[in-house]
Amino acid sequence: MLNSLKLNTYRGRFAPSPSGSLHFGSLLAATASYLDAKAHQGDWLLRIEDLDAPRVQKGAISAILNVLECHGFKWNEEVLYQSQRLTAYQTITEQLLKRNKAYFCACSRKILQQNSPVGHYGFIYTGTCRQGIHASNPSHLRSVRVLSGSTPITFKDRLYGACKQNIAQAIGDFVIKRSDGVFAYQLAVVIDDYYQGITDIVRGYDLLDNTARQLYLQKLLNFPQPHYLHIPIAVDAQGNKLSKRNLAKALIGQHAFDNIYQALIFLGQNPPPQHNFSQLDDLWQWAIMHWNINTLPQQGSLLYESP
């Protein structure tokens, strides 16, 4: 009885990549996913997306766990590391190849440049290797692409409402395993969300246009479809997303209260004045009790000026 009840409960997650420290932009996704999970009396899981080994920064993982702890986040279950999930990704890649839902591609960047129109998301793959790699292609590099269906994918985001994407037109058959052997984010995230039993995904607006590909893979693999909530992302004065690349400031544990308070303001949660709270725990309690997605700002990005 307990088990079947458990299956129906909310399970959310936060999935940072350890290519650097957490910054205010990552804190927004962590905070929103945490509040949504806790407001639903759900579990909140942590997954470290360390797929791309060369991009993993030394010490970043322990720094991320530490700063999350300092900010009062409490995760359920063991942390899941994508670097330990390669066998699962490989098994599913092989299944898709065997079912003729995926195929090897030997197109170099140069061939892609010659053959592909450029769309909003980069080259639109026109299916050069769909019938097999051409004998004249000397490349030994092999990526794996999944056949993209021509039916548009539709879904309802909890904030942005009805969304639709025709993957074949916008992107074409997309890569699930890169030619350097690294599994693509799209594949890994779908397999892990299923593996962790995630029912609700709360993440940045910049990932909204990845959702159709993930739904498509879920369908292909017979996985249940989670609910999606994309929240606005923080941008700098030039309109660039706060990121490790543009040197967004690393979160500091000692500033946890101010950081969470700022995140709540950014997320449109209108917390009462700071002096109403004697400690971080009180602020969290207030935020969980008053979590309201109807007051989230609706624009995809919002200016963030660091105090």
Tell me, by CB under 5 A, how many residues bind Zn ion: 4
Of 61 and 112, which CB lies nearer to Zn ion in the complex structure? 112
Of 105 and 202, which CB lies nearer to Zn ion in the complex structure? 105
Q: Shortest gap between Cβ of 140 and Zn ion (angstroms)?
A: 13
Q: Shortest gap between Cβ of 128 and Zn ion (angstroms)?
A: 4
Looking only at the bridges linking them, the beta strands covering 153-157 and 161-165 are antiparallel
Of 139 and 225, which CB lies nearer to Zn ion in the complex structure? 139
Of 146 and 202, which CB lies nearer to Zn ion in the complex structure? 146
Q: How far apart are CA 34 and CA 229, in angstroms?
A: 12
**Contact (Cβ atoms closer than 8 angstroms) between residue 17 and residue 61:** no
Q: Shortest gap between Cβ of 174 and Zn ion (angstroms)?
A: 12
Q: At what angle do helices 86-98 and 185-195 cross, to 10 degrees?
A: 110
Kindly give, in sequence order, each residue whose CB lies less than 8 Å from that of residue 40, ignoring residues fewer than 6 positions away: 9, 10, 200
Q: Shortest gap between Cβ of 110 and Zn ion (angstroms)?
A: 12
Of 181 and 297, which CB lies nearer to Zn ion in the complex structure? 181
Of 138 and 161, which CB lies nearer to Zn ion in the complex structure? 138
Q: How far apart are CA 108 and CA 33, in angstroms?
A: 39
Of 143 and 243, which CB lies nearer to Zn ion in the complex structure? 143
- Residues within window 219-258 making contact with Zn ion, judged by CB under 5 A: none
Q: What is the DSSP letter of 269?
A: -
**Residue window 50-89: x/- pattern of binding to Zn ion, with contact defined by CB under 5 A:** ----------------------------------------
> Is residue 37 at the binding interface for Zn ion, with CB under 5 A as the rule?
no
* β-bridge partners, 235: 241, 303
Question: The tokens of 146 are what?
Answer: 């999944």
Q: How far apart are CA 172 and CA 103, in angstroms?
A: 13
Element (H, E) at 60: helix 60-70
Q: Shortest gap between Cβ of 129 and Zn ion (angstroms)?
A: 3
- Residues within window 86-145 making contact with Zn ion, judged by CB under 5 A: 105, 107, 128-129
Q: Shortest gap between Cβ of 130 and Zn ion (angstroms)?
A: 8
**Contact (Cβ atoms closer than 8 angstroms) between residue 198 and residue 46:** no
Q: Shortest gap between Cβ of 150 and Zn ion (angstroms)?
A: 18
**Contact (Cβ atoms closer than 8 angstroms) between residue 44 and residue 249:** no
Give the binding site for Zn ion (CB under 5 A).
105, 107, 128-129
